[in-house]
Structure 1
Amino acid sequence: MNTVTSKDGTKIAYDKEGEGPTVLLVDGALCTRSTGSKPELVKLLAAHFTVYSYDRRGRGDSEDTKPYAVEREIEDTEALIDAAGGAAYLYGHSSGAALAMETAIRLGKKVKKLAMYEAPYNDDSQAQRAWREYLKHLTELLAADRRGDAVALFMKLVETPTEQIEGMRHALIWPLLEAIAPTLAYDHAAILGEDASVPTQWAARVTIPVLVMSGGASYPFMHDTARALSQAMPHAELRVLEGQSHNVDPDVLVPALVEFFSL
């Protein structure tokens, strides 16, 4: 494990693996550099690139500094890019894709290319009403320090079956999820915003090459969102990974990333 110090003094933990051009991985909600399929993704990418996988602030081995601001997370990314030599490719998944997009806009030439998988914006009016209600309830639960209930609330939002949620409450990973539950507010209230609408005007400011991806077996709105983002960006390519859900298989994702970053 390595660390960098962000502009506000926060220590950010990261791992570095492989050789070649730098690819920085930006996680979505409730993820760390060691959870889910991340180790397999790093392993496959490291055969082609130098891969930086890090714990976003408030997660894993990274510190946190209050109050939270999206700008501080972008400064974290900049510190990592500077440690890597001053320029990098970015890959962001889910809300991490939204953060990566904002990072690309703000850091200019330090980000050479951007790949995004299923940034969960949604222009459907009914979904936006549900999102606002979710944010209200999330804020109340976190204010009461009911972290487990906040995690469960998010899982219900993404349609995890109730019996599966209850089973997870007794699993070894649950305390880890509770520990980083406050970061749900970072990803959702701060990064995705009060209604999670597709920020096409913001996306239009991304001038570097972008690969915008969705899964062929994922939520239908994800493809609509990916299409809207790609159409707003001046140098974007839209790609559907057939058979993939929101939890994309690294064996399918990595060839697309290698092709895009190697062009």
Structure 2
Amino acid sequence: MSELEHHATTSSDGTPISYFRRGRGPALVVTHGSIATKEQWIPVSEALAEHVTLYVYDRRGRGGTGDAGDYSLAHEVADIAAMREVAGPGAHLLGHSFGALATLAYAREHGLGGGTLLAYEPPLAVQGPVAGDRLAGYRELVDAGDLDAALEYALVNFVRVPAEAIPFVRETPLWGASVPLTPTWVRELAEIDALGSDLAPYAEIDDPTHLIAGTATTSFLYQSAHDLANIIPGAGITDIEGADHFAHLADPRGFTRVVVDALDTAAVVR
């Protein structure tokens, strides 16, 4: 089994970035989603590390990574740039959820220079604002310090998890790990809605791109992936049968096969 190596680097604004390195083979930088840290990717990293060299980092404001006084998607793009510098020329990118939006933004601005972009269920406003007016209610719960209620509110109102499923989600390790991170979601939801519903700018991406979605995921997440696959020239898409937004946790080996197949296909096309 490949060992985890813990390291740190620095973003362009001086923010320290904590990451782990694991595996062998082509470099793959992983950008995790909202209310998560790099720790969420440790289980699947064991399988992925048999095929690629992983660079999985904490996004700013959580884990071992610092933060700054202001925030925008541009900061996330800068952090990815710092990680690709560590990983080396031609490094591939894998982004999950909000992390997928960040990797898409990076690809639009910088290109991948020989790498492949994998975007797993980016949360775009394809069915109307993701948060909209409901963001105010979430912000109030966060500001009041009721982070447990804030997470439930967000899952029901933003991720569109059925209310009757919440008791089951509460029993998973995901709940306890996510609650302390709920404040970081406020600014990310605002950034998502600010992107709007026009996907035409993503047609600028000319690097090999592959979208990933689960067939049992939330409707707007599934649609986001498929709409992007139709917009980005030459993009591929894989549906993971029966999977939701956390296929990398539920089936690490199955998710690894999807990632490896997508990278192999892109290499053939390239």
Shorter-chain TM-score category?
0.7 to 0.9
Question: Does the 8 A contact of 2:91 with 2:112 survive in 1?
Answer: no
| Selected match of 1:47 from 46, 50, 60 | 50
Residue 219 of structure 2 is aligned to residue 220 of structure 1: yes
Q: What is the Cα deviation at residue 193 of structure 1?
A: 1.8
Task: Give the whole-Å Cα distance in 1 for the aligned partners of 2:148 and 2:113.
Answer: 38
Residue 229 of structure 2 is aligned to residue 230 of structure 1: yes
Residue 8 of structure 2 is aligned to residue 3 of structure 1: yes
Q: What is the Cα deviation at residue 55 of structure 1?
A: 0.7
SS at match of 1:212: strand
Supply the AA of the counterpart residue of 2:69.
Answer: K
Task: Give the whole-Å Cα distance in 2 for the aligned partners of 1:152 and 1:180.
Answer: 13
Supply the AA of the counterpart residue of 1:131.
Answer: A
What root-mean-square deviation, in Å, do the aligned CA atoms of Structure 1 and Structure 2 show? 2.5
Provide the residue aligned with 1:87 in structure 2: 90
Supply the AA of the counterpart residue of 2:181.
Answer: I
Question: Does the 8 A contact of 1:104 with 1:111 survive in 2?
Answer: no
Task: Give the whole-Å Cα distance in 2 for the aligned partners of 1:121 and 1:111.
Answer: 26
Which structure 2 residues correspond to residues 131-170 of structure 1 after superposition, within 5 A? 131-157=131-157, 158=159, 159=161, 161=163, 164=166, 168=170
SS at match of 2:188: helix
Question: Does the 8 A contact of 1:28 with 1:187 survive in 2?
Answer: no
Q: What is the Cα deviation at residue 242 of structure 1?
A: 1.4
Task: Give the whole-Å Cα distance in 1 for the aligned partners of 2:135 and 2:90.
Answer: 35
What TM-score, normalized to structure 2? 0.84
SS at match of 2:204: coil
Q: Deviations over 1:212-245 (max 9, x none)?
A: 1211222233332222111110120122111211
Q: What is the Cα deviation at residue 82 of structure 1?
A: 0.5
- Sort the Cα spacing of 1:32 and 1:187 in 2 relative to 1 into closer, same or farther, 3 A: same
- Sort the Cα spacing of 1:240 and 1:172 in 2 relative to 1 into closer, same or farther, 3 A: closer
Q: Structure 1 residues 81-90 or 176-185, which shifts more? A: 176-185
Identity %: 27
Aligned residue pairs, count: 255
SS at match of 1:203: helix
Provide the residue aligned with 2:255 in structure 1: 253
Task: Give the whole-Å Cα distance in 2 for the aligned partners of 1:224 and 1:167.
Answer: 23
Which structure 2 residues correspond to residues 1-263 of structure 1 after superposition, within 5 A? 1-35=6-40, 38-110=41-113, 112-125=115-128, 128=129, 131-157=131-157, 158=159, 159=161, 161=163, 164=166, 168=170, 176-190=177-191, 192-194=192-194, 197-248=196-247, 249-262=251-264, 263=267
Question: Does the 8 A contact of 2:125 with 2:196 survive in 1?
Answer: yes
Q: Structure 1 residues 249-258 or 140-149, which shifts more? A: 140-149
Q: Deviations over 1:32-88 (max 9, x none)?
A: 1113xx222211111011101111001111111111121111111111110112331
Supply the AA of the counterpart residue of 1:215.
Answer: G
- Sort the Cα spacing of 1:223 and 1:109 in 2 relative to 1 into closer, same or farther, 3 A: closer
SS at match of 2:103: helix
Task: Give the whole-Å Cα distance in 2 for the aligned partners of 1:175 and 1:215.
Answer: 24
Task: Give the whole-Å Cα distance in 2 for the aligned partners of 1:48 and 1:84.
Answer: 15
Task: Give the whole-Å Cα distance in 1 for the aligned partners of 2:256 and 2:235.
Answer: 18
- Sort the Cα spacing of 1:172 and 1:108 in 2 relative to 1 into closer, same or farther, 3 A: closer
- Sort the Cα spacing of 1:58 and 1:260 in 2 relative to 1 into closer, same or farther, 3 A: same
- Sort the Cα spacing of 1:144 and 1:206 in 2 relative to 1 into closer, same or farther, 3 A: same
Task: Give the whole-Å Cα distance in 2 for the aligned partners of 1:109 and 1:228.
Answer: 21
Q: Structure 1 residues 146-155 or 201-210, which shifts more? A: 146-155
Supply the AA of the counterpart residue of 1:20.
Answer: G
Q: What is the Cα deviation at residue 147 of structure 1?
A: 3.4
For structure 1, the residue ranges without an aligned partner over 5 or more in a row are none
Task: Give the whole-Å Cα distance in 2 for the aligned partners of 1:163 and 1:82.
Answer: 41
What TM-score, normalized to structure 1? 0.86
Supply the AA of the counterpart residue of 1:181.
Answer: T
Q: Structure 1 residues 173-182 or 224-233, which shifts more? A: 173-182
